[in-house]
Structure formats: structure tokens, C-alpha cells
Amino acid sequence: MPNEREAKLIRHIFQRFVELGSSTLLVKELRLDGVTSKAWTT
């Protein structure tokens, strides 16, 4: 179960996908915003 911060991000991602209508544009936007997955490491 996601924590509240993760839940908020998930809701934002789904809402932006509906608004953009494109997963490619969504990924570009998320990358520009610095959003990464839990598995992401430097």
C-alpha cells in the first residue's frame, strides 16, 4: 500500500495522462519534474 505522498503522486500521474492523452508526453513531463521510481539509483 502506498504512503500518502506516493498516493498523491499516483493520482497526479493518472490525471496528467488523461489530460495529455499520451504516455510519451507524460514520461517527458515527469522526467522534467524529476520524478523517479523507487528502483532508480544514481
* pLDDT, block means (10 residues), the chain with 42 residues: 85 97 97 87 64
- Cα distance between residue 7 and residue 39, in whole Å: 17
The pLDDT of residue 19 is 98
Assigned domain for 20 exists: yes
The pLDDT, as a whole number, for residue 2 is 63
**Range of the structural domain that residue 6 is part of:** 1-26
Q: What's the structural domain count of the chain? A: 1
Cell 506516493 identifies what position?
6
The pTM score is 0.77
CA 29/CA 4 separation, integer angstroms: 22
φ, ψ of residue 40 in degrees (nearest 5)? -70, 135
Residue 15, in any domain of the structure: yes
In a domain, 31, yes or no: no
In a domain, 38, yes or no: no
Domain contains 32: no
Cβ-based neighbours of 26, under 8 Å, separated by 6 or more: 13, 16, 17, 20
Residue 33 placed within a domain: no
